[in-house]
């Protein structure tokens, strides 16, 4: 919906190509993070997580924090700074 409502395309300017590239890469990282957490859920359901074997869950949590920080940087640089 956001791509449809924007007043620019990927071929219009540097801003357009940067916008589509960064939001697309962020979407890809969200997809990878979702798959990562799905496998952590499978390990949880199959009782393969213990107090000593939970590094995958910790990596998933750190990965999602990384994705959140990148989204905040994208929001500041593209939506806030780009809208000025």
Q: What is the pLDDT of residues 50-81, one digit of tens each?
A: 889 999 999 999 999 999 998 898 888 877 77
pLDDT recorded at residue 38: 96
- pTM, rounded to two decimals: 0.77
Packed helices 55-74 and 14-45: angle between N→C axes, nearest 10 degrees: 160
In the chain the domains, ranked by start, together with CATH numbers, are 1-80 (1.20.120.80)
| Alpha carbon of residue 55 to chain centroid | 21
Query: How far from 32 is each of 1, 38, 40, CA to CA, in Å?
Result: 22, 10, 13
Backbone angles phi, psi at 15, to 5 degrees: -60, -45
pLDDT recorded at residue 70: 87
Query: In this predicted model, what pLDDT tens digit does every residue of 7-40 receive, in sequence order?
Result: 777 887 787 888 888 888 988 999 999 999 999 9
Task: Give the span between the Cα atoms of 27 and 40, in whole angstroms.
Answer: 20
């Amino acid at each position: 919906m956001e791509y449809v409502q924007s007043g620019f395309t990927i071929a219009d300017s540097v801003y357009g190509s940067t916008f589509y590239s960064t939001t697309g890469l962020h979407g890809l990282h969200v997809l990878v993070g979702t798959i990562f957490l799905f496998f952590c859920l499978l390990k949880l359901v199959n009782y393969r997580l213990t107090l000593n074997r939970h590094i995958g869950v910790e990596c998933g949590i750190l990965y999602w924090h990384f994705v959140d920080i990148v989204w905040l940087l994208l929001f500041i640089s593209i939506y806030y700074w780009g809208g000025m």
